[in-house]
Structure 1
Amino acid sequence: MIGTLQCVVLDCHYPAGLAQFYAALLGGEVDRPDPRWSLDEDWSTVHLPDGRVLGFQRAEDYRPPIWPDPAHPQQLHLDVEVEDYAAAEAAAVALGAEVRARHDRWGVLTDPAGHPFCLVPRHCA
């Protein structure tokens, strides 16, 4: 095992509004302070009653999916929390992932089919 699922992140135009929708649908607390994320107009969260977290990320050119039209595919990614970023990245690459971007506190990789996922250090503040 390389890491644990930190949250599922959905791209959207208006993160706070979508977070409110999912909190009403599933229960939970919108934008509860959490050292893993910075909350702002581009990022919102819902901490669900069972402990899972949904994240909502602003995407300026967001195009909503049209089920089941492949020209407008589903859009979400996984955040995977890891203890040691460098070791986790190396292990994921060995499994077939490709590094797409590195940021100050996290990195974006793609799985062998091209789906993006993020590696996020556990103690990322």
Structure 2
Amino acid sequence: MIADPQCVVLDCPDPARLAEFYAAVLGDEADRPDKRWAPGEDWATVHTQAGLVLCFQRVEEFSPPAWPDPARPQQFRLDFGVRDLNRAQEQVLALGATVLDGGTDARGWRVFADPAGRPFRLVRH
């Protein structure tokens, strides 16, 4: 092994807003004290219960993906396992997500955009 994963860093226009969104989705805490990072207006974090840290950094001229348009591809997507797709959909929409692909119950997953426009997927497990 060469390295251990420390974090995933996502560009966005408003790091605090996106950290609060994902903290609410995952039931975790935004900007927990951590000697590795100093949250501020250009940087925010979410420490997940699984141990992974999601970091959000400000990009002034952020251009979100246009899923599923290959001219502006997603480049990166977070997938989250859920027990109840309908309930999880209600919850993420209430937090500010938008539906990109509502899918079918038989398919077992749905695609949304977070408040910055980046795709993420809820997957029934």
TM-score above 0.5: yes
Query: Which residue type is aligned with residue 65 of structure 1?
Result: P
Aligned to 2:25: 25
Aligned to 1:99: none
The separation in 2 between residues aligned to 1:6 and 1:12, in whole angstroms, is 19
Structure 2 residues without counterparts, runs of 5 or longer: 77-125
Aligned to 2:67: 67
TM-score using structure 2 length: 0.57
Q: CA deviation at 1:43?
A: 0.4
C-alpha distance 57-5 of structure 1, shift in aligned 2 (>3 A): same
| Cα offsets for 1:95-115 (capped at 9, x unmatched) | xxxxxxxxxxxxxxxxxxxxx
| 1:42/1:57 contact within 8 Å kept | yes
Query: Which residue type is aligned with residue 58 of structure 1?
Result: R
Q: CA deviation at 1:22?
A: 0.4
Aligned to 2:16: 16
The separation in 2 between residues aligned to 1:25 and 1:60, in whole angstroms, is 25
C-alpha distance 23-7 of structure 1, shift in aligned 2 (>3 A): same
TM-score using structure 1 length: 0.57
Q: 1:1-125, aligned counterparts within 5 Å?
A: 1-75=1-75
The separation in 2 between residues aligned to 1:11 and 1:70, in whole angstroms, is 19
Identity of aligned residues (%): 64
| 1:10/1:75 contact within 8 Å kept | no
Which structure is higher in RCO with an 8 Å CA cutoff and minimum separation 6?
1
Query: Which residue type is aligned with residue 57 of structure 2?
Result: Q
Q: CA deviation at 1:75?
A: 5.0
Q: SS of 2:11's equivalent?
A: strand
